[in-house]
Amino acid sequence: MAAAATAEVPEVLQECGCKGIRTCLICEGRRHCDPPWQLSPQDYGPKVNFRKQKLKMGDFRGLPSFSREVVQRMGLYPGLEGFQPVEQCNLDYSPERGSAIDPHLDDAWLWGERLVSLNLLSPTVVSMCREAPGSLLLSSAPAAGPEAYADCLIAPSRSVLCQEVEVAIPVPCRSLLVLAGAARHQWTHAIHRRHIEARRVCATFRELSAEFCPGGRQQEVGHELLQIALSFQGRPV
């Protein structure tokens, strides 16, 4: 009976929940789907207009309660000391839906130095590109460890245009990926459609920029955001 009921639902174009750099075959108008495939992102954070550099609290009540322990454990890892996220975005990637995310740099007006993503359910690949004029100096090394260098000839370095370089970063299931420094500000990151081979859930956490931290021009706003975020009483907005 359940199968018969499902079969009666007509195939119609659904609103997929994608926005901005998020994309799938549904929002591109190339795929129809039944309602059970419709999985929207969940955002826990203030409402932000990045172009006008304005924000308002809106219905923001904090990060979700289930993230409290995750955030606490993050701070135990080297490089994440003092990490206090004020925004969490949960994304659900599906190969049937053709999910992907375009190459982009995250905003640097509101979001701070470290972008942290928790990868769940399946492995994937994050692709990094440097969209800048000029070239990069690439060097080759033996596949074996450093101890093999003495017995191997290393290929000479060569210069390659930045636009021709893409670095593929394997991201295993249940791994934590941190983008900081040049990877945060100079290299775009993306997930190609071909690298979503099974359902993937990702939780991305963002901290405040210096402008919203103590001593910054909007430190009061930042203090309020942190108090709300770390109350862990949030609902998706």
Low-confidence ranges of the chain (pLDDT < 50): 1-13, 21, 32-39, 148-153
Residue labelled with tokens 């409402």: 47
CB-CB neighbours of 122 under 10 Å: 16
> Residue 55's closest CA among 234, 170, 168, 220?
220
> Which pLDDT value is given to residue 210?
97
Out of 2.60.120.590, 1.20.1740.10, 3.90.180.10, 3.40.50.1970, select the CATH number for domain 40-132+159-229: 2.60.120.590
- Beta bridge pairs of residue 179: 115
> Which pLDDT value is given to residue 211?
97
- Beta bridge pairs of residue 90: 42, 203
Residue labelled with tokens 């359902």: 199
* Residue 66 φ/ψ, nearest 5 degrees: -70, -10
Q: What is the pLDDT of residues 105-126, one digit of tens each?
A: 999 999 999 999 999 999 999 9
* Long-range pairs for 224-227: beta carbons < 8 A, 24 or more residues apart: 224/57, 225/46, 225/57, 225/86, 226/84, 226/86
> Which pLDDT value is given to residue 135?
77
Query: What residue ranges do the domains of the chain occupy?
Result: 40-132+159-229
**HSE (side-chain half, CA atoms, 13 Å) at 218:** 17
> Which pLDDT value is given to residue 138?
74
